[in-house]
Structure 1
Amino acid sequence: MSYILNIETATKNCSVALAKDGKTILCKEIAEEGYSHAERLHVFIEAIIEEAGIALQDLSAIAVSQGPGSYTGLRIGVSAAKGLCYALDIPLIAVDTLQALAAQVTISSGLIIPMIDARRMEVYSAIFSPSLEKKREVLAQIIDENSFEDRQETLYFIGDCAEKCKSILTKENHVFLEEIVYPSAKEMSALSFEKFKISDTVDVAYFEPYYLKDFMITAPKK
Structure 2
Amino acid sequence: MILAIETSDIWLSVAFWDETKRKTLLEQNLELPAQHATLLASVVKNGQEFVRQTIKKALAFEEKISAVAVAVGPGSFTGLRIGLSFVQGFCFAHEIPVVGISNHQVLATQMKPCDQKMFTIIDARREEVYLAQIDFDAEGFPEIEEHSIVLKEKLPEVIPAGSLLVKPEFHELDSEIVRNLRVKGVTLHSKGQYNARLLAELGWQKIRKFGPDDLKELEPMYIRPFAGVL
Equivalent runs, 1:6-21 vs 2, <5 Å: 6-21=4-19
In 1, Cα distance between equivalents of 2:128 and 2:59? 43
Equivalent runs, 1:160-171 vs 2, <5 Å: 162-169=171-178, 170-171=180-181
Of the structure 1 ranges 155-164 and 199-208, higher mean CA displacement relative to structure 2 is found in 155-164
Counterpart check, 1:29 vs 2:29? yes
**Corresponding residue to 1:52 among 33, 52, 58:** 58
Q: CA-to-partner distance for each residue in 1:96-132, whole Å, 9 max, x for gaps?
A: 2210122223464434432211113211121225745
In 2, Cα distance between equivalents of 1:135 and 1:210? 12
| Structure 1 residue matching 2:125: 3-state secondary structure | coil
Decide whether aligned partners of structure 1 residues 176 and 89 sit closer, same or farther in structure 2, where only a CA change above 3 A counts.
same
Aligned residues with identical type, % of pairs: 27
- Stretches of structure 1 that go unaligned for 5 or more consecutive residues are none
Of the structure 1 ranges 77-86 and 143-152, higher mean CA displacement relative to structure 2 is found in 143-152
Decide whether aligned partners of structure 1 residues 53 and 152 sit closer, same or farther in structure 2, where only a CA change above 3 A counts.
same
Amino acid at match of 1:207: L
Amino acid at match of 1:214: P
In 1, Cα distance between equivalents of 2:170 and 2:117? 17
Of the structure 1 ranges 22-31 and 11-20, higher mean CA displacement relative to structure 2 is found in 22-31
In 2, Cα distance between equivalents of 1:146 and 1:199? 32
Of the structure 1 ranges 51-60 and 131-140, higher mean CA displacement relative to structure 2 is found in 51-60
In 1, Cα distance between equivalents of 2:228 and 2:211? 33
TM-score for both structures, normalised by structure 1:
0.81
Question: Shift of the alpha carbon at 1:212?
Answer: 1.6
| Structure 2 residue matching 1:125: 3-state secondary structure | strand
Counterpart check, 1:90 vs 2:96? yes
The structure where helix makes up a greater share of residues is 2
Q: How many residues align?
A: 215
Counterpart check, 1:206 vs 2:204? no
In the alignment, is the contact (CA less than 8 A) between 1:116 and 1:161 conserved in 2?
no
Counterpart check, 1:185 vs 2:207? no
Decide whether aligned partners of structure 1 residues 53 and 79 sit closer, same or farther in structure 2, where only a CA change above 3 A counts.
same
CA RMSD of aligned residues (A): 2.8
In 2, Cα distance between equivalents of 1:161 and 1:101? 13
In 2, Cα distance between equivalents of 1:93 and 1:5? 11
In the alignment, is the contact (CA less than 8 A) between 2:2 and 2:66 conserved in 1?
yes
Counterpart check, 1:138 vs 2:144? no
In 2, Cα distance between equivalents of 1:27 and 1:55? 13
Decide whether aligned partners of structure 1 residues 54 and 164 sit closer, same or farther in structure 2, where only a CA change above 3 A counts.
same
**Alignment correspondent of 2:3:** 5
In 2, Cα distance between equivalents of 1:115 and 1:124? 5
**Alignment correspondent of 1:195:** 206
Question: Shift of the alpha carbon at 1:95?
Answer: 1.0
Amino acid at match of 2:227: M
In 1, Cα distance between equivalents of 2:111 and 2:79? 24
TM-score for both structures, normalised by structure 2:
0.79
In 2, Cα distance between equivalents of 1:207 and 1:135? 17
Amino acid at match of 2:49: V
**Alignment correspondent of 1:153:** 162
